[in-house]
Structure 1
């Protein structure tokens, strides 16, 4: 059987096309042995033929690749491998008439799970269409990937030949969705010797007519009268009349309120929010990370970005009633009482809530243990998930046994995971310490997957959140410490949230080690997230280009540096600055006047306790026991513990000492001796201000600006192009990147090339020369939002800076010459949200607090109670909870109609 590859493509000089795939003649996926295609200048088509066995059916997988001899690059076409089934007993010749699948095309994202599994899910596929062709004929298989077809509609082809309707809209040939999002059918044309002109369209099966033809010129199929030939016309994408845009709502699961909860949102509550989304025309529900963060059994565990496992789900989200009714009537009565008390609070009281959860989870486990362990569904779940589930259960049990998640404090034999299988055997006396975690995770998985199925059935996308880091005392660090730099800390450089940067205290990734197995850990992590989500927000996607790495001895973020980076050698600094003095540039610059400015009347006492003079010129240094911020932190933790009534005073002193330690101009590189990184925002330091004018000019303009804004662009672009593709293409989720902050110029281009949506927040414009962003300026492949969980709500922000609010009111909302209202009135909120909804961005995702702010009756009384996180406060208690039950929200018909109105009016 002859198989012919055919692809129209206009190459540039030095470029050529090849095809590689599963057959030996295609190199068996070896790029060096790919099959070259031949170019026909008259037709502009690249083609080549191979032979395949004709005595039995077979399947061929393949992909085209563009080779550029000018730079040696080899670029495979976008998308998954192509697959074609052949049968030489039916046809003697198979002609594959393909089209190049280009990357960075907006319509590529329509093929992600958000669209194929949720928005345009086809629960009742029509099956394989009955071919109208005879084996002896020249048969054409029309084939097109078209995900954007409503579930109650179908795809059809209409054209000039009678077999495809002869342009009669009621006689169009309907394609099968058996392999959706690809549609296909086979037909023998009535006049194969004549060029066929045709288009694809949307077919209404109820009215039996074409309701929409694609835009653009007619497609053309060249004539062919070859007998016993199957022409597979794998057409280029459907030409929609307009781009698809949707709107969604953002709310953390823990913040959801329902009548059945236990003082916190739970996975079944997602169904209630989906119901509300459907009733208001919203198509997406976005949540924050939902992984288990139980490390200390205190309120500190409320921080959702410090998971003890990147695979396990948080027990707080388990609905107890959905597991099983409590058989102990007294226990049930106590649960009902606690539910009433905890649901009566206006915030998530984390510790009492978790204490109650764990108590009743353990009681349910003992009650259901025998049937649970025998349940085939659990056995299937265990077998599928055991790679992470068994270590997680062992870790959680040992955490509680030894009273800490810091496995370095456990007895020696448990500091590595070598005993996990032995510990978790069902026939051991201590099995229940670990079995309860199997029980909890199984039921959490069932409840979440039930909510996911419900959302998909209602055409709503569930969007999750991928934290950039891992927790230092986690199962992941315990089982695979070689994947992380445990001696370093990840964070973020200074920004609008924090002038001293953010220190998340997570270890940084050992990317070189991760690359050795093809980023298997990342692929496993993404696969687990795809179990629950059709879209995903990658937190701090800049970390895939470079992370802000902070030495272990720092508390704040100013003494960090980007990693990987290209540090300056001592020689280079000396050449560009004109001099190099390690003590002046790299050690804290402390003088008596600086001590006085920070500590005022207590300057002498602070000096006597913590400092010493080291030269007659007035040079001062900190004493040995307080030369790092971690040392200072430890000293003042002890002081505060001994004298808690003076905690605020000690905090003030500690902050002042941190400030002195930050007074450096260069940070030594931790890997290369005599190499240095300019300290971030060094131009704002006292040390910089007291340099001579020429040194200041050279240091800032010749070194600092070049280092942070020019030196690394190509280097960081390469980092992103290496690390992001394995994560991006590990699943079919729609990927959105949180790309706020100090963004390298290369980032938007890399994200676009990989089909990753960017984030546009009006208050944090990507253009540093613009005070406010405008949603109209957002690109299509992006998300627009008035804020995030790290910001105050619209109402809270409105009251923070009246002068800035006035400028926003005039320049962005267009109320020139008018006075902005003192509070963010409902009509102002509405104008801002409408502005976002009319953006060209694919998604407008609105925090629920901001949506409710359109209603005087529904919004919370105090807007400052609505902020979810305060990034500048590393000890922030994540306790926000919606003040309205979701059951009530669904029944606010008048308000819901208003939301429907603005969403529909925007064309979303």
Structure 2
């Protein structure tokens, strides 16, 4: 078949336009132009398989490299017609994301059967194929139709439109006999009733005009795809954020599970909510202790944590005495106010081991199980092998596994073969992941069937002791640690300890690793939160010898040469400015009566009357090792102060080029900065502002646009980004261009110069919330700093009189109402903040509701609901009140 493409797109000198066919390794058709605006080209092309559609995108190329490509998950599509149709004349326009791209996401589209494109009989000589984009019609009980001014299009009679065919979600096509359409004619796209076919809505624009020369036999003309709009209100939705581990029901086992998640979705439905957001649910089992409770440090980006299995959905143990003993322990654990991570996982693991041995023979022969293993073999086998080797070696640090410390695909396959000494243990992990898959899929499918968005969470990092680090180490920089620069959560920055990504390697295969990860999420969720989306622009990378985050640098970034530093008026001295500034006055001030001990043990005197750290203590990791096991307050205090000495530098050498440098983050309050002259301080501040707030905007914009468009095209999920922290100016550019929902929090305003954000001014493409899992709850924040809450009470809420010491229910309700009424598409509040409105229901212990303290690297993630889901469902008045508030805010029918 011959394809002829025509498109109008303005280019500049040196650029050319190409058609990129999306089958396997991309094929290109280079178009030609006379004026740089109108492009045309032809080629002979056949799909790889007969009947398959031809998908393609347009790209702008310079010097043979693609510098821009059409965005979005929806590619242009051409379907072959009858045997007469052998030449296709394709009129196109450049298409980035549809205007309301969120409507095309799985969050706002139900699952329904699609139809094949219609094909005319072989005696039809020439055809016209109309193409249109219009999502969400089936939710309204409608389909797309076309109606127009000629008889073949119904002569504008509302009962005679022509039905179109939905060939992909939100993508409609219709092929008609060209001889029946006398050009010129006018037409419109219409929404028609699925059952009767009658027009119910007309698109909101002037009539479309069709005019073309007569077509020759065998020609098919495809007008430019139309984006069709109907008069639909903007979707606004309310929901709740809660970790799965925090859910509590009468039958759970001391921790929330996927059965509880389904019950919680039912509560959301009954209160008029249409979104439930959870934290990461991946397997974090490394040490077998409570340290593994941190949900953002998983051993697999695919496997789920075994503690989320709902045992109630599995067979009971045949041994009645064992079952009774289990039930006694379960009741005890379920009565605890917080998750006892170690005892819960020990009990569940024991139960599941016993059950597996009981059901093993029958289970391994289940067709559904075999199909699951076959479909997920690529990640399931390495995960199961990793878990077995972790158990047998007593550590998740695969570097200590001897012969297995380096991943060998052949050896793993041998481990997974029936009859191997590992096989039974391998199958146990298959067993766990199969039931986790079944139960989560059931909960999410239930939510989707009820119009509820179930929103997952994709952590930015991976553990250095994970399946991915073992199997695919080439994708990561193991000598770096991901983290975050200092912010309101942590004055020393955050060091997550995770390796950073080798983006250069990932780019070579079009970020296949990330695409696989996103597609796995899409099996369950209809929306997801990208944790720390800033990491796709740049990551804060901390050298492995550091404990705190202050000695990090952004990667990628543009370090500064000595000459460039001096151009700001600062006389750069590498010896003085890249080493800690330590003098007697500082030592005495920091260490007091311990100053002599510090000088003697950790420091050496320099000829300049300054001090340097001894080689055996000149990094934070070396100091950490020295104090290992010394947990008394005095040792802890000395260790932290030594850390601060080590990070007291003005510049940090670049990790790749030691002759280039980065200004140390937040150094202005450090002794090394205070010892600069006033002129030097001014010069440094000019350099600092340029480096952190101006220098990288364009650079980081292009870095993000290399990655995010490809990843967003991988699935139809709704995308939300956690864009908090030190946000570069280019982040809103990218998020707006890609229609990624931002995160808006009133106590963390993005506009400079104000103390609190204004919910009424939030952008529509955003998620608004009162607080996240990393923050205090509304009631916790209210009592943190009375001077801050006093200003909020009077200046934002506009109340008179004395500010309440603790937030009463009526005040919490007022704040919730203001958030519900804001323009944001999603208003997702923590469950603690919903219950804060009712003083008879909310937890009396405010501090117990805190989930995470980011400044504490050893936080125990163990918060639980203080009432059961059964009790929550029975609170008729409370639940009806939430439903009414949501309805009054206009979020009930979003």
| Matched residue, 1:672 | 657
| Matched residue, 2:367 | 376
| Matched residue, 1:877 | 860
Shift of 1:200: 3.0
Q: Normalising to structure 2: TM-score of the pair?
A: 0.91
Equivalent position SS for 2:628: helix
State the alpha-carbon separation in 2 of the partners of residues 507 and 894 from structure 1: 49
Deviations 1:271-311 (A, max 9, x none): 11221222223222211111110000000000001111112
Deviations 1:774-794 (A, max 9, x none): 233333332222221111111
State the alpha-carbon separation in 2 of the partners of residues 619 and 791 from structure 1: 41
| Matched residue, 2:19 | 20
Alignment of 1:258-277 (within 5 A): 258-277=249-268
State the alpha-carbon separation in 1 of the partners of residues 64 and 815 from structure 2: 48
Deviations 1:496-541 (A, max 9, x none): 0000000001111122222233322222222222222222211111
Choose which of 445, 453, 471 in structure 2 pairs with 1:479: 471
Shift of 1:826: 2.7
Equivalent position SS for 1:449: helix
Shift of 1:573: 3.2
Shift of 1:158: 4.1
| Matched residue, 1:542 | 534
State the alpha-carbon separation in 2 of the partners of residues 52 and 519 from structure 1: 28
- Whether 2:746 is the aligned partner of 1:762: answer yes
Asked if the contact 1:568/1:675 (under 8 Å) is kept, the reply is yes
Asked if the contact 1:295/1:308 (under 8 Å) is kept, the reply is yes
| Matched residue, 1:643 | none
Shift of 1:199: 3.1
Choose which of 155, 163, 169 in structure 2 pairs with 1:180: 169
State the alpha-carbon separation in 2 of the partners of residues 561 and 274 from structure 1: 42
Deviations 1:192-220 (A, max 9, x none): 33644333333345676544333232333
Q: For residues 136 and 832 of structure 1, do their structure 2 counterparts lie closer, same or farther at Cα, with a shift above 3 Å needed?
A: same
Equivalent position SS for 2:253: coil
Tell which deviates more after alignment, 321-330 or 307-316: 321-330
| Matched residue, 1:316 | 307
Choose which of 481, 487, 491 in structure 2 pairs with 1:495: 487
Equivalent position SS for 2:711: helix
Tell which deviates more after alignment, 860-869 or 680-689: 860-869
Q: For residues 223 and 858 of structure 1, do their structure 2 counterparts lie closer, same or farther at Cα, with a shift above 3 Å needed?
A: farther
State the alpha-carbon separation in 2 of the partners of residues 327 and 18 from structure 1: 68
Asked if the contact 2:124/2:177 (under 8 Å) is kept, the reply is no
Tell which deviates more after alignment, 793-802 or 514-523: 514-523
Asked if the contact 2:31/2:40 (under 8 Å) is kept, the reply is no
Asked if the contact 1:138/1:224 (under 8 Å) is kept, the reply is no
Asked if the contact 1:293/1:314 (under 8 Å) is kept, the reply is yes
Tell which deviates more after alignment, 198-207 or 799-808: 198-207
Q: For residues 334 and 571 of structure 1, do their structure 2 counterparts lie closer, same or farther at Cα, with a shift above 3 Å needed?
A: same
Equivalent position SS for 1:465: strand
- Whether 2:638 is the aligned partner of 1:653: answer yes
State the alpha-carbon separation in 2 of the partners of residues 515 and 95 from structure 1: 34
Asked if the contact 2:83/2:122 (under 8 Å) is kept, the reply is no
State the alpha-carbon separation in 1 of the partners of residues 759 and 230 from structure 2: 23
Q: For residues 884 and 150 of structure 1, do their structure 2 counterparts lie closer, same or farther at Cα, with a shift above 3 Å needed?
A: farther
Choose which of 885, 888, 893 in structure 2 pairs with 1:905: 888
Equivalent position SS for 1:637: coil
Give the CA RMSD over aligned residues: 3.2
Q: For residues 327 and 678 of structure 1, do their structure 2 counterparts lie closer, same or farther at Cα, with a shift above 3 Å needed?
A: same
Asked if the contact 1:133/1:186 (under 8 Å) is kept, the reply is no
Tell which deviates more after alignment, 677-686 or 71-80: 71-80
Tell which deviates more after alignment, 397-406 or 243-252: 243-252
Equivalent position SS for 2:258: coil
Shift of 1:133: 9.6
Asked if the contact 1:21/1:60 (under 8 Å) is kept, the reply is no
Choose which of 306, 310, 320 in structure 1 pairs with 2:297: 306
| Matched residue, 2:720 | 736
Asked if the contact 2:60/2:66 (under 8 Å) is kept, the reply is yes
| Matched residue, 1:421 | 413
Q: For residues 148 and 566 of structure 1, do their structure 2 counterparts lie closer, same or farther at Cα, with a shift above 3 Å needed?
A: same
Choose which of 631, 635, 647 in structure 1 pairs with 2:626: 635
Alignment of 1:292-371 (within 5 A): 292-371=283-362
Asked if the contact 1:17/1:46 (under 8 Å) is kept, the reply is no
Shift of 1:907: 2.7
Runs of 5+ unmatched residues, structure 2: none
| Matched residue, 1:579 | 571
Asked if the contact 1:782/1:841 (under 8 Å) is kept, the reply is yes
| Matched residue, 2:698 | 714
Across the two proteins, how many residue pairs are aligned to each other?
885
State the alpha-carbon separation in 2 of the partners of residues 788 and 53 from structure 1: 51
Tell which deviates more after alignment, 342-351 or 193-202: 193-202
Equivalent position SS for 1:742: coil
| Matched residue, 2:30 | 34
Equivalent position SS for 1:114: coil
Equivalent position SS for 1:151: helix
Tell which deviates more after alignment, 274-283 or 570-579: 570-579
Shift of 1:729: 2.2
| Matched residue, 1:214 | 203
State the alpha-carbon separation in 1 of the partners of residues 227 and 836 from structure 2: 41
Choose which of 549, 553, 561 in structure 2 pairs with 1:569: 561
State the alpha-carbon separation in 1 of the partners of residues 338 and 188 from structure 2: 57
Q: For residues 182 and 513 of structure 1, do their structure 2 counterparts lie closer, same or farther at Cα, with a shift above 3 Å needed?
A: closer
Equivalent position SS for 2:107: helix
Asked if the contact 1:20/1:27 (under 8 Å) is kept, the reply is no
Shift of 1:545: 1.4
| Matched residue, 1:644 | none
Deviations 1:201-240 (A, max 9, x none): 3334567654433323233333776586655456422213
Shift of 1:62: 4.4
Q: For residues 298 and 57 of structure 1, do their structure 2 counterparts lie closer, same or farther at Cα, with a shift above 3 Å needed?
A: closer
State the alpha-carbon separation in 2 of the partners of residues 210 and 368 from structure 1: 56
Asked if the contact 2:603/2:612 (under 8 Å) is kept, the reply is yes
Shift of 1:438: 1.6
Asked if the contact 1:462/1:535 (under 8 Å) is kept, the reply is yes
Equivalent position SS for 2:829: strand
Tell which deviates more after alignment, 802-811 or 684-693: 802-811
Alignment of 1:121-520 (within 5 A): 121-123=110-112, 136=124, 140-155=128-143, 156-177=145-166, 179-186=168-175, 192-193=181-182, 195-205=184-194, 209-222=198-211, 226=215, 231-233=221-223, 235-241=225-231, 242-417=233-408, 419-520=411-512
Asked if the contact 2:749/2:756 (under 8 Å) is kept, the reply is yes
Asked if the contact 1:200/1:213 (under 8 Å) is kept, the reply is yes
